[in-house]
Amino acid sequence: MNTIILLTVIGTIFCIPGSFRKKDSRKYLIFFIVCFFIDQLLTRNFYFPEFITIGTEWNWTGKIASALFSLIVILILRKKFRINFAFTLKQKKGSLKPTLISVGILVIIGVIVLWFFGSKGNPSFETHLFQLTMPGIAEELAFRGLFLGLLNNVFKKSRRILGAEMGWGAVVTSLLFGLWHGIGFDNASNFYFNIEPILMTLIAGFFISLVKRKNRKFTYSCFIS
């Protein structure tokens, strides 16, 4: 719970400028903070290994619950408030090739980083299966789907980067994505800070946000986190 509270406070601090905006913007900011907190609770605490028979190394139920939560909230908010989450399986015409190239570059970078900084042991079948599915589904739905969509309605000003309109929302979600993978408290309540996963996932998160904003579509990424 300490990690969840810490990250929620950090996310709130990053979004302080949004609290001075119009009432509608503050509404979306509150949505973001609440959804971020609930998503962390599901991801970290919703652990029922008896429901998934694949194995117990990873929290399958937490990731599945997170993905379902993000998807349901996206569908509800898109219908009720007409928020453009750019959630569709269709790609913008002409965007498939640059998207595949971008994801390919991220995968190569990820493999190189893991080669030098990752565990030298042999990952189990469960680890391979989990990393190829759950992070790319649950985390992309949450960070580049739900969170980015909400914050884009809070921070509407943007700058054009490599042909994509990037705003403060992309910065916040990328920073939180990196910190989410590298800081927290262990079972003994000792604080930890791991710079390698923070930098790796922060850069990856911003890069994927750029691809999504450029294509104005949801992009699935199996980038190993």
The per-residue pLDDT for range 122-154, each reduced to its tens digit, is: 778 888 888 888 888 899 899 988 999 999 888
Question: Over the stretch 181-192, which tens digit does the pLDDT of each residue have?
Answer: 999 998 888 999
**Mean pLDDT along residues 199-221:** 74
Q: Cα separation of 124 and 92, whole Å?
A: 37
Structure tokens at 46: 């919703």
Q: Note whether 138 and 64 are within 8 A (CB).
A: yes
Mean pLDDT of the chain: 83
Q: Is the pLDDT of residue 225 over 80?
A: no
Number of neighbouring beta carbons within 10 Å of residue 89: 7
State whether residue 183 is helix, strand or coil. Answer: strand
Please indicate whether residue 114 or residue 34 has the higher confidence score (pLDDT).
34
The model's pTM is 0.85
> Above pLDDT 90, what percent of the chain?
35
Q: Note whether 170 and 209 are within 8 A (CB).
A: yes
Confidence of residue 216 (pLDDT cuts 50, 70, 90): low
Q: Compute the radius of gyration of the chain from its Cα atoms.
A: 17
> Above pLDDT 70, what percent of the chain?
86
Q: Note whether 179 and 167 are within 8 A (CB).
A: no
Q: Is the pLDDT of residue 88 over 70?
A: no
Q: Closest Cα partner for 11 from 36, 44, 43, 28? A: 36
Please report how the helices 96-117 and 195-215 are oriented relative to each other, as an axis angle in degrees rounded to 10: 180
Q: Note whether 67 and 138 are within 8 A (CB).
A: yes
